[in-house]
Amino acid sequence: MQNSTEIPHPQHPDLDLYPVDRLVEVLVEDQLNAAQAVWAARAQLAEAVRQAIPRIAAGGRLIYVGAGTSGRLGLLDAVELYPTFSWPRARAIALVAGGADALTDGVEGAEDDGQQGEVDLLAVRPVANDVVLAIAASGCTPYVLGALRAACASGSLTIGLANNPNAPVLAAAQISIALVTGPEIISGSTRLKAGTAQKIALNSFSSALMVGLKKVYGNLMVDLRPVNAKLVQRAISLTMHATGMSEEMARSTLVSCGYQVKVAIVALKCDIGADEARARLAVAGGNVRQALRG
């Protein structure tokens, strides 16, 4: 049975004859189906978050596995967790078929090597509290399936994301998230709406997970890592917004707190020093609301 992502789009057989305005219109319009596909899978995404939270809270890691566009999207989600939520880099691992070379160039045959997928997954020593996200537009990529087999054998929580219903990746994972996007405007180019759906799903999963781990206060990302001037200013703005304090007070408190926004918020709202604020947060497991209650 042919994958739906590989079937030529029935509505646009003369795409190459479209004027530019119409061409852009249909390409953008088709992307709307990506969000609809993720919306249809929201219950499965929520279940994945529910099952992942206790494992990650107990010290587990996020391990993303994919090939081509899917692998690069997994890597993107993994690396962005550090500056956004101060998530340890060692606890967000991305395995891409073909390794580092595949990030900028295609590596011939890499995605077809199921044994290498298994080897790469085993090399990071998966354990029961780890959460493995197996991502494949087709849902039948051998590299991803090999890694998934090893992950299942290790006892890790396995989450499969694919853009074809009834795909092998979905059948092999404990939690299956079918992002059914159908044929692409440009036949088989799953970097289009299939990739967009994967990006939305991964963003939603990891963001919800971080909220569940108390990395967010209200809707403020109070656990960011200010690794550049823009993020330093954002830390100041977040502290001001959360406490109602002046920019000068927010900045000076952040300096004393090592630019940890959570600590600065507790220190300012409770009128205590950085060390005491840090201790309160430690007792509260990083939960700002609980730390504010003392």
Render pLDDT for 234-254 as a digit per residue (tens, 0 to 9). Answer: 999 999 999 999 999 999 999
Report residue 125 CA to chain centroid gap: 21
* pLDDT band, residue 2 (cuts 50/70/90): low
Active site residue 276: no
| DSSP codes of every residue in 159-186 | EEEESSTT-HHHHHSSEEEE----S-SS
Q: Is the pLDDT of residue 270 over 80?
A: yes
* CATH superfamily entry for domain 4-212: Glucose-6-phosphate isomerase like protein; domain 1 (3.40.50.10490)
Secondary structure class of 66 (helix, strand, coil): strand
Give the pLDDT confidence of 52-97 residue by residue, as tens digits: 999 999 999 999 999 999 999 999 999 999 999 999 999 999 999 9
Domain boundary assignment for the chain: 4-212, 229-292
Q: Tell me the sheet residues that pair with 134.
A: 65, 160
For the question of residue 80 being annotated catalytic, the response is yes
Identical fold, 4-212 and 229-292 = no
Please pick, among 47, 111, 118, 276, the residue that the annotation labels catalytic.
111
For residue range 107-145, what is the model confidence (pLDDT) as tens digits? 777 899 999 999 999 999 999 999 999 999 999 999 999
Specify whether the CB–CB gap between 280 and 266 falls below 8 A: yes
Candidates 6, 25, 47, 80; catalytic one: 80
Domain 229-292 maps to which CATH number in 2.70.170.10, 1.10.8.1080, 2.40.30.130, 3.40.190.10? 1.10.8.1080
* Paired sense of beta strands 92-96 and 62-66, if any: parallel
DSSP 130: -
Quick: pLDDT tens for 31-52. 999 999 999 999 999 999 999 9
Please give the pLDDT value at position 106.
Answer: 75
pTM (2 decimals)?
0.94
